[in-house]
Structure 1
């Protein structure tokens, strides 16, 4: 590996860590970069997931203040992310990549609609239920987080968009608080999926690639937290919609 290739991979990891912390979809930077340099798709996906764990750590740390009031919420949602990520990682190892190609753009498009309409829908739902989280909303939220975890363990691109869209509708929280929760759940998914890969199929991991992505993603997570927390709610939602739309176009192409 040349120093130029290593530098490009580190920079791609930095970009992915930044975008993952603000929105999600950072995999759409690192994964194509690894494919460009000729790494096999499955190995690139697995090595990339492992490397991006570092960005999840720094991004979650950067949003720690927004998480102070959300610890109980995270405690209830984390098991769903954990279980989903294991299922998704195992699916990656046994199913062809084409299995999810048709549904992924549809899921992202739905998530974008939820991101835009989420606050209005949430206010309506809160009015209908006296500002309480009903059992039905909890079930929908946990199932949605489980599905997002499965998708994140399988591929991961735009997992954050899915989570933000889902939580925008079902949780009476601001966009920054939702982003903090999203970062922790995304970290859980990436870490558990990576651990599953290490245990089940370590031969698919390129440790050099994983290390380079991790170096860049670690720096990107801190950058993303600083930038994302400084954004007003309307701008953060606009960025989510733009990046989610780009993700759909890239995946379709």
Structure 2
């Protein structure tokens, strides 16, 4: 693929995606369609996006750690479980037909939007963290399947984690976000290995996108406290709806 200066548009797209992925989720709903629209086959776009996610989440983990926010070793247990699942999901993704993948992505985008609009409001209940015993075992079990989904497509997985972690394990929004980015970083290692071995990564576009993703994630991880997310929510709803329609029909 010859270089085009239009590809530099991936930097601001990546910045927004990295920011959104860190404070909530949904960034992949912007970057993955963007890579497809730049001409990459769906499996290659999926693999290329993982490089940016890998660096983005590492930057976010470091950013949270610099602020003293960590749930280790709880996050490590979830990360290992999700890592095992990611190998399965990524292997499924590299062998899927491109048109079918676009249709699946379109459906997932709409489902995530419906979750954003009609999903439960975050409520941290009694404020007690539950990161050992039965809540830990249940979370490890659930995150194996989240790892399969994350390895396959990753889109919108942050929203799912931000539902599970507060309600099941009693984590605050800040600690849920810190746990989320660590888990995604760990299981993305597995996904990158699979996509790289299958030669499904465009490293030039991955590098460009990574600049934006990592910058957005670093900024968001240091800024990340409870904010009014109405503007971000409606930005995602409008943008992702448009991309989903285009993916389905074109």
Q: TM-score, normalised by structure 1?
A: 0.79
From 228, 236, 239, the counterpart of 1:235? 228
Secondary structure of the 2:40 match is: coil
Give the structure 2 partner of residue 116 of structure 1: 121
Query: Is contact 1:167-1:178 (8 Å) kept?
Result: yes
Superposed, 1:146-161 pairs within 5 Å as 146-161=144-159
Deviation at 1:221, TM superposition (A): 1.6
Deviation at 1:66, TM superposition (A): 6.0
Query: Is contact 2:89-2:151 (8 Å) kept?
Result: yes
Query: Is contact 1:112-1:161 (8 Å) kept?
Result: no
Deviations 1:196-245 (A, max 9, x none): 2112x02x221111111112222122122133x2x3x3636x67865775
Query: Is contact 2:80-2:187 (8 Å) kept?
Result: no
Superposed, 1:212-223 pairs within 5 Å as 212-223=208-219
Which portions of structure 1, spanning 4 or more consecutive aligned residues, are displaced by more than 6 angstroms? 111-114
Note the aligned Cα RMSD (angstroms).
3.1
Deviation at 1:134, TM superposition (A): 7.3
Aligned residues: 240
Specify every segment of 5 or more residues in structure 1 that has no aligned partner in the other structure, as ranges. Answer: none
Q: TM-score, normalised by structure 2?
A: 0.80
Deviations 1:143-164 (A, max 9, x none): 2212222111111111111111
Specify every segment of 5 or more residues in structure 2 that has no aligned partner in the other structure, as ranges. Answer: 246-250
